[in-house]
Amino acid sequence: MVHVVGAKPTEVAIMNTLTTNLHLLLVGFYRPSAKRYKILIEENPFPSDMHALTSHIISRGYDPEKALIQVGPRKGESIIRTEDILDVIEREGDSIAVILFGNVQFMSGQAFEMEKITKAGHAKGCIVGFDLAHAAGNINLKLHDWGVDFACWCTYKYINSGPGNIAGIFVHERHSQKDLDELPRYAGWWGTDRETRFRLTNRFEPQLGAGSFQLSNPPVVCMMALLSSLHIFEQANIDTLRQKSLRLTTYLEMLLDREPLNGKHENGKQYVQIITPRDPEQRGCQLSIRVAIPVMQVMSEFKTRGVVCDEREPDIIRVAPTPLYNTFEEVYQFVKILTEVLTSSDDEKVVDGDKGDSKELRPHQKKKKNKKTTK
C-alpha cells in the first residue's frame, strides 16, 4: 500500500472503512479555535465527506454555515481552476483549520493539484488532507514528498478489494512523534506499540506513526482480500499502470472527439461533452461525459450490450477504463456502442436493446455532420 500512495511504511495504516477513518483523523487534525475554525472543501463533494465534516463542526460547537467554505467551478465551467483554489487559501487561509479535497473528484473526474494546494495551505498554517477514494490505485501519488498532512481512502474502488472492504490512512511522518495532547486520537489497544501490546497494561503507548490511529484487531478475511489485490498491483507496478492509463484514457478522449460524436443531436445538444479536465495530469482514468439524451435511456441500452459504467442524472455518465484489466479494444467497442445509442435516438425511436450486438453503426445523415462544433 505504501507504494500505491507514495508513503513511508510508518505513514500508512490499514483499518476500518473510509468514513470511519475520516472521522478518526478529524479528531486529531481538526482542532478549531476562535480564530481558526473553518474547513475548506470543493463544491459538491461526496455526501459522506460532507456529513463527516459537518458533524465535526457541530460537535465542536461551531456553525457549519460559517465554518464550511466551498470552492467551485466558475460560471459555465465544470472544473475548478487551481488558481481559484489558491486564491481562496490566500484570502481565507488565516481562518482555515483544515483543507480537505476529494481527489480524484468523484463527479467531474478532476485530479486536483495536490502539491500546490498542500504548499499553499501550509504557507497559511492550515492542515491539508485528502480523501483519495478515487485516486488510490488510479493516479501517481507522492503523499510523503508532497508533504500532505493526512489522507484516507477506500480499497474497493480502483484497488478492487471488494465492496466495503477495509480502508487505508496516511499520516505524515512529521506528526508521528506527537503524543495525545499534541495530536488527539481516539485510542485503542491496536494503536499501541507492537512490542508491548500483549503485555496488556492500561497505559497507552502509541506506536510510531499512522498505526497509532488503529483501534481494533483487523478482520483477517478483509485483510486477505486486500493483500491479494495489492500483490497484483505490486506485480503490475503502479507507475506502469499509470503509463497505460494515460494512453487508454487519451484514446477514449480521441475517439469521443471524432465524428459523429463531436457534432450535435437533432435536439440541438452536443452528442457528448467531456467535462473532465483535458490535461492528463489533472485527471485519472475516468472521463465524465455529458450526453445529449436522458442518461437512463443510454444506460438501458448499455445494460443489454454489456457496458458497465456509472450514471448521474440527468445527463452524466462516468466512464473509467482501468489499466489493470481494460483493453484498448474495449474502449473502441464502448465508443462504437455509445455512438449507436446516441445517433439512433435522432430517429426518434430508441434502438431495441434485444437486437443486441449484431447492429452495425448507423450511417449518418449528411445534414447533421459536424455542423458547427464549438471548441
Ligand X SMILES: *Cc1c(COP(=O)(O)O)cnc(C)c1O
Residues that bind ligand X (CB under 6 A): 17-19, 46, 48-49, 102, 106, 131, 133-134, 154
Residues contacting 23, CB < 8 A, separation 6+: 52, 55, 56
From CA 76, how far away is CA 320, in angstroms rounded?
A: 24
Q: Give the shortest CB-257-to-ligand X separation in angstroms.
A: 27
The residue among 293, 297, 321 whose CA lies nearest residue 309 is 321
Residue 183 near residue 175 (C-beta atoms within 8 A)? yes
Minimum separation from the CB atom of position 156 to ligand X (A): 7
In the Cβ-directed half-sphere of 60, how many Cα atoms lie within 13 Å?
23
What minimum distance in Å lies between the beta carbon of 50 and ligand X?
A: 9
Q: How far is the CB of 372 from ligand X (least distance, A)?
A: 37
Q: Residue 105 or 245: which CB sits closer to ligand X?
A: 105
Cell of 72: 467551485
Nearer CB in complex with ligand X: 131/301: 131
| Closest separation in Å from C-beta 46 to ligand X | 3
CB of 210 to ligand X, least distance (A): 18
CA distances from 263 to 266, 295, 317, 349, 374 (A): 10, 18, 18, 20, 9
Give the ranges where the chain is alpha helix by DSSP (H).
2-5, 18-29, 47-59, 64-67, 82-92, 114-123, 143-146, 220-236, 238-256, 295-304, 328-344
CB-based contact 144:6 (threshold 8 Å): yes
For ligand X, the closer of residues 134 and 305 by Cβ is 134
102 vs 137, which CB is nearer to ligand X?
102
* Least distance (Å) between residue 48 CB and ligand X: 4
Contacts of 223 (CB under 8 A, 6+ apart): 14, 166
Q: Which is nearer to ligand X, 105 or 249 (CB)?
A: 105
Residue for cell digits 473510509? 18
**Residue number, 128 or 342, with CB nearest to ligand X:** 128
The residue (of 53 and 272) whose beta carbon lies closer to ligand X is: 53
